[in-house]
Structure 1
Amino acid sequence: MQPTTLRPNAGHLALPFFDEAHRHIAARLPDWVNAQGVDESDDRAACRDWVRRLGEGGWLKYCVPGEFGGALPQLDSRALVVLRETLAFYSPLADFALAMQGLGSGAISLGGSTAVRRAYLPDVASGRKIAAFALSEPDAGSDVAAMKLIASAARPDCAMQEKDGSFFLDGQKTWISNGGMADFYCVFAKTDPDGGSRGISAFVVDRGSEGLDDSAHIPVMAPHPLATLSFTRCRVQADQMLGELNGGFKLAMQTLDIFRASVAGAALGMARRALAEAIHHAQRRRMFNQTLADFQLTQARLGEMAALIDAGALLTYRAAWLRDTAQGSAKERSVAAKHQKDCSVAAAMAKMCATENAQRVIDMALQMHGGLGVMVGSKVESLYRDIRALRIYEGATEVQQLIIGKAVLQEAQS
C-alpha cells in the first residue's frame, strides 16, 4: 500500500446518523492507515499483516462486543461502516482484513455460549486469531437452503436433543474468505437434511481439525485469500454449536444483516477514492491549453459521480442507524419483527445502491484517466477490479432486489 496525500471527505459525519464515538474513529483512522505501508504484493501475507496491525492499533475491537474485548458494548453497524469506508479509501485489502474478522466471528458474538465467546472473541479483537465465515457451497450461494454439507450426530439417540455429544461434518464449502489461513471457521451445515432452511445449524471448527482440508486456494481478479473447504468425517463437539439446533439459518441472516451495510460502506470508500483520484487528475491534466477540469463535460461528470456517492451514502448510513437504534427498543414480538424487517430491507437497499453506484463512479474515473486508467498498477485500475466482487458477495444485487421487491409488495397488500 502506497501512502497518499488524498484524504476522504468527512463532512457526512456531521449528519445526525452519527455520534461522537463514530466521529472519533473517523478523526483518527485516516492518518493511522495511511502510515502503515503494508506490502500487498502477496495477498495472504498482506492480510495476515493487516490483521496483526489492525489488532495492535485497537481497530479490531469494534468487531466484537465490549464484554469480550470490544470497544463498544455491542456490535455497532455505524462504527463498522465508518471503519470500512475509511479503510477502503486507502486499501481495499485492509478493509477486507477487518471485515472478515467481524463477519467471521459475528455468529459467535450473536449465538455462541459464554465459554465459546471467551475462547475466541478476545483473540479476534487482538488479531491473534483470524476468523472466517463458511456459508457458501458449490451449489448453494444465494440459495442457502440448498446446502449439502451434512452434520450428522455421532450419537443419534441423544446428540440431536442435547449438546452433550458430537457431530461429523461431510461435504464442501467454497468461496470462503480467509480460507486456508483462518484459525477457525464458523461453519453452517444441515443437521436435518430434509428441513430446508429450518434444518441448518452452525458450528465453530478450528483449523487443523482432523477431516478438514482448506488447502484449495481460489485465485480471483482482485487478489484476496479465498479457498474451498472439504470436510470428511470432521468431528466437532456439540458444545461448539452456535445458537439453537436447526437455528443456523436465522443466525446466518442476523450476522449478514449486521455486516451488509458495512459492505456498502466499503463500496463508498472505494468510490470516494475514485472521485478524489479523478479530481486530482482533472486539475493537473492539460489539453487544448486548459486543464481537463476546465471542460464543462468533466464538471458534469464529476457532479454525477458525487451525487451517486451521496445517494448510496445516505441509504447506507440510514441502514446502519436503523440497525443500531432498533436494538432492544421493541418489547412486543410483532413490533420487534417489523423492526427487524425494516432493518433488513434498508440494508438491502444500501448494499444494492452503494455497490452499483460505486461501480459506475469507478468506471467514470477510469474513463477520465484515459490510457492511464487501464495501466496495471494505477489506483483506478485496481479499484476497477476491487469493486466488482462487492456486487456479488454477501448477497448479490439481484438478491437484494428480490428482498426489496417482496417487501414493497407485502407493504402494498397490507
Structure 2
Amino acid sequence: MTIAEGTLTDLLTDVRRVASERLAPIAHAGTDGRVNRDLLRALSTEGVLGMLFPGHGTDGAQTTAETICLLREALAYGCVEAEVALAMQGIGGYPVLQSGQRHHLDRWLGPLREGTAVAAFALTEPDAGSGAAALRLEAVADGDGWRLHGTKMWTTNAPDADFYTTFARTTQGAGARGVTAFLVPADSPGLKATSVELFAPHPIGRLDFDSVRVTRADVLGEVDRGFRVAMKTFDLFRPSVGAAAVGMAQAALDAAVRHTSQRQAFGQALGRQQAVAHALSDAATKLEASRLLVRAAAAAHDSGDGRVTAKSAMAKLFATESAQQVIDTAFQFHGASGLRAGHLLEGLYREIRASRIFEGASEIQRDIIARDLYRDTPIGRRAGGTAKAAELSATGAN
C-alpha cells in the first residue's frame, strides 16, 4: 500500500497525489466508454481498493461512508476516470459484500479487492428509472430457479463486467417488495451486453436477458427483498456522489484561481477585477458548504441516523448542482482556452453533468427531501412517508 496511514487530511492529500501522478497516465491510455482493467489493478496496487474493501481474505468487512467520500473527492480532484472506476466497482460489488452468500464472497471478494474482477450494477430499465416499483425485468419460475427476460439500461461497467448485480421482478403486482437481487455472471447463456456511448466517456451499457437461468444460489439477500439490497448500497454510496462533485469543483476552482491570478486584461490580473473575484468567492463558499453537507450525510450513515436518506439527498442535490455552477464559472473565466479539447475544464464540464442524474436525478432528491419534511403530517402519511422516499431513492442511471 503506497498511501500513508494518518489523518483524514493526510488521506485526502495522498490520494490526490496518487491520482494525479500515478493513476492519470494509466487512465489516459484507456479507451473511452470501456472498462480500463489496468486502471482497476492500479487502484488495487496503490491501496485504494483495499480501503473500499477493507477486509482480509473473504470476510465481509465494510468501509465507512466517510472513507468512501474522502476517496471519491480526492480521486475526482486528480483523475476523474479513477474516481468513476472506484465508484462503479463499489456500487456493483457492495451488494455482494453486504448481502452475498458465502460462496459469493469466496469467489468474488478477493478479485474485487485486487481489481482483477469487474463488478456491475443493473437496476435501471428503459421504462423504469425513478421508481423501483416499476421494474419489469421478469424472473419466471423454472424448477428450482428462474428465467430472466427483459432489458436493463444504463448499466455500470457494461459490457465489460465479469458479473452483474441484477434486480428482477419475482412477484408481479407487489411493487418494490416483489424484486429479487441476483448475481448474474457475464458469461451466462442468453445474456447480451452492449456499450452505450455517452456525453461523458463512462463505461455504461445495455443488458438484454433472453431466458437467462438463475437459481437460489445466485440470490443476493432474500427472494422478493432485493430492494433492501439496493437500498443498503445506495445509502452507503449516495453521499459520495456529492463528494465526487466536490472534488471536481475544487479542481476547477483551483485552476480558475491560478488562471485569473496570471491572466492580464485591461492592465491588471483578472483576479483583481471585482466581478471575477466575487464570483470565485461565491464559488468557494458553495464548495465549502457542499463539502460540509457531504460529510454530515456520511456521518449520519455511519452513526445510524434514521434520517440518512434525506440527508444524503440534500448532500447529493446541493453538491452536484453547486459543482455544476462552480465549474461553469471557472470555465467562463478561462475564456476560449477552456474550449480546447483535452483542457481540464473541458473534461470537467462534461463529467459533472452526469452527476446530477446518476443515482437519482436532482428532481428525485427534492422529492425525497420533501417527503421527509412532511413525513409526520397528514399529507406525508397518506403518501407513504419515508417508505415512499426510500423507494424513490433507489433510482437513477446505474
Cα 1:167–1:62 shift into 2, 3 Å? farther
Equivalent pairs, count? 372
Residue deviations 1:106-155 (CA, integer Å, cap 9, x gap)? 11122111221221111111101011000000001112211111112212
Separation in 2, partners of 1:33, 1:392: 25
Indicate the residue corresponding to 1:185 in structure 2. Answer: 164
Indicate the residue corresponding to 1:210 in structure 2. Answer: 189
Three-state SS of the structure 1 residue aligned to 2:280 is: helix
Cα 1:286–1:409 shift into 2, 3 Å? same
Indicate the residue corresponding to 1:168 in structure 2. Answer: 147
Indicate the residue corresponding to 2:76 in structure 1. Answer: 88
Q: Confirm or deny that 1:57 pairs with 2:46.
A: yes
Q: Which runs of 5+ in 2 are unaligned?
A: 381-398
Q: Using the TM superposition, give the Cα deviation of residue 324 of structure 1 relative to its aligned residue in structure 2, in angstroms.
A: 1.0
Question: Which residue identity does 1:84 align to in structure 2?
Answer: R
Alignment equivalent of 1:109, drawn from 93, 97, 106: 97
Which structure 1 residue ranges, 4+ long, deviate > 6 Å from structure 2?
A: none
Q: Confirm or deny that 1:370 pairs with 2:335.
A: yes
Q: Which runs of 5+ in 1 are unaligned?
A: 1-18, 156-164, 327-338
Residue deviations 1:272-293 (CA, integer Å, cap 9, x gap)? 0010110011011011111111
- Checking the alignment, whether the CA contact within 8 Å between 2:34 and 2:157 is kept in structure 1 is no
Q: Using the TM superposition, give the Cα deviation of residue 321 of structure 1 relative to its aligned residue in structure 2, in angstroms.
A: 0.9
Q: Which piece of structure 1 moves more, 107-116 or 19-28? A: 19-28
- Checking the alignment, whether the CA contact within 8 Å between 1:132 and 1:182 is kept in structure 2 is yes
* Percent of matched pairs sharing the same residue: 38
Q: Which piece of structure 1 moves more, 262-271 or 110-119? A: 110-119
Separation in 1, partners of 2:182, 2:234: 16
Separation in 1, partners of 2:311, 2:57: 29
Q: Using the TM superposition, give the Cα deviation of residue 65 of structure 1 relative to its aligned residue in structure 2, in angstroms.
A: 4.9
- Checking the alignment, whether the CA contact within 8 Å between 1:63 and 1:101 is kept in structure 2 is no
Separation in 1, partners of 2:107, 2:185: 12
- Checking the alignment, whether the CA contact within 8 Å between 1:363 and 1:384 is kept in structure 2 is yes
- Checking the alignment, whether the CA contact within 8 Å between 1:169 and 1:236 is kept in structure 2 is yes
Indicate the residue corresponding to 2:355 in structure 1. Answer: 390
Indicate the residue corresponding to 2:256 in structure 1. Answer: 278
Three-state SS of the structure 2 residue aligned to 1:249 is: helix
Separation in 2, partners of 1:211, 1:315: 44
TM-score by length of 2: 0.89
Residue deviations 1:196-215 (CA, integer Å, cap 9, x gap)? 1110000001111101000x
Question: Which residue identity does 2:245 align to in structure 1?
Answer: A
Separation in 2, partners of 1:251, 1:257: 10
Q: Which piece of structure 1 moves more, 355-364 or 232-241? A: 232-241
Separation in 2, partners of 1:251, 1:148: 17
Q: Confirm or deny that 1:300 pairs with 2:271.
A: no
Indicate the residue corresponding to 2:19 in structure 1. Answer: 33
Alignment equivalent of 1:321, drawn from 299, 311, 316: 299
Three-state SS of the structure 1 residue aligned to 2:155 is: strand
Residue deviations 1:140-181 (CA, integer Å, cap 9, x gap)? 1112211111112212xxxxxxxxx22211111010110011
Q: Using the TM superposition, give the Cα deviation of residue 382 of structure 1 relative to its aligned residue in structure 2, in angstroms.
A: 1.0
Separation in 2, partners of 1:73, 1:146: 33
Separation in 1, partners of 2:258, 2:235: 36
